[in-house]
Amino acid sequence: MTSFKNKCVLVSGATRGIGRAISQAFAEQGAKVALNFRSDLKSAEKTISNLTGDGHCLVQTDISCADNIPDLIDTTTGKLGGLDILVNNAGIGIYHPIATSSYEEWQKAWQQTLATNLFAASNLSFCAAKTMMDNGGGRIVNVSSRGAFRGEPDKPAYGASKAGLNALGQSLAIALAPHNIFVGTVAPGFVETDLAAERLAGPEGDSIRAQSPLGRVARAEEVARAVLFLAADGSEFMTGTIIDVNGASYLRT
């Protein structure tokens, strides 16, 4: 793995699950990591205390509020001394099946999901790119989902937001390449995290694992490895790509 020594990295949704694994992986390779989180200070403090190396920081911000993003980027660059890599990892999934949801519930689910999963990533990318342009370039990596391709019938806003994130990444890859900023996307399937633990341990667990011919779901570290690959020097000509990390549980053509 390429060393990220002294690289300055901002990870949204950084203190649990996939975000935690991404933060740890960058830190192990020598990066200085800003861990963004919304409200769970206890998890944030636990995560940062376990990171390898020095110079890491916590940045508590609700990224679903657009007005918060410029200050988040300014705070991050101030604390780290720059910004080389942005990882848009934060995401939510709200159940709102059309057959059983009220119109009010439907509206709320769409508004909250898009605000966090798509609009926040767009706003973070905009502000981070402005900083990167002034400093010779950088990397943006988005964490999407296989749900963008196969559909999410019980969480349609989630599937749509991730499909939008894929398109955003590809559009930015074209727009930002002249500025030496390269953009990639990782699309996991089911991942073994704290949030998924109850479902994996319950009646659905075996059928979820059976979706992959490997007979299991992804580990968060495997998703992190793909993120670091796209963020590394030497991956420039992969800009615009989407890497599936779903254990062949869904194959797109």
Q: Is the pLDDT of residue 34 over 60?
A: yes
The pLDDT score that the predictor gives to residue 25 is: 98
Q: pTM for the whole thing?
A: 0.96
The pLDDT score that the predictor gives to residue 64 is: 98
Q: What is the dihedral of CA 2, 85, 28, 117, to 10 degrees?
A: -120
- How far is the first Cα of the chain from the last one, in angstroms, to the nearest whole number? 29
Q: How far is CA 183 from the centre of its chain?
A: 13
Spatial strand order in the sheet of 85-88: 57-60, 32-37, 8-11, 85-88, 138-143, 181-188, 242-245
User: Where are any strands of DSSP class E within 150-246?
Assistant: 181-188, 191-192, 218-219, 242-245
Q: Is the pLDDT of residue 131 over 70?
A: yes
Confidence of residue 1 (pLDDT cuts 50, 70, 90): low
Q: Is the pLDDT of residue 2 over 70?
A: no
Confidence of residue 195 (pLDDT cuts 50, 70, 90): confident
Which residues are known catalytic residues? 158
The pLDDT score that the predictor gives to residue 125 is: 98
Amino acid at 92: I
In the chain, % of residues over pLDDT 70:
99
Q: Is the pLDDT of residue 194 over 90?
A: no
Per-residue pLDDT of 70-106, as tens digits, reads 999 999 999 999 999 999 999 999 999 999 999 999 9
Q: What whole-number distance in Å separates Cα of residue 246 and Cα of residue 226?
A: 12
- The domains found in the chain, sorted by start residue, are 8-245 (3.40.50.720)
Q: What whole-number distance in Å separates Cα of residue 162 and Cα of residue 117?
A: 7
Confidence of residue 191 (pLDDT cuts 50, 70, 90): very high
Q: What whole-number distance in Å separates Cα of residue 91 and Cα of residue 50?
A: 23
What are the residues facing 139 on neighbouring strands?
A: 85, 182
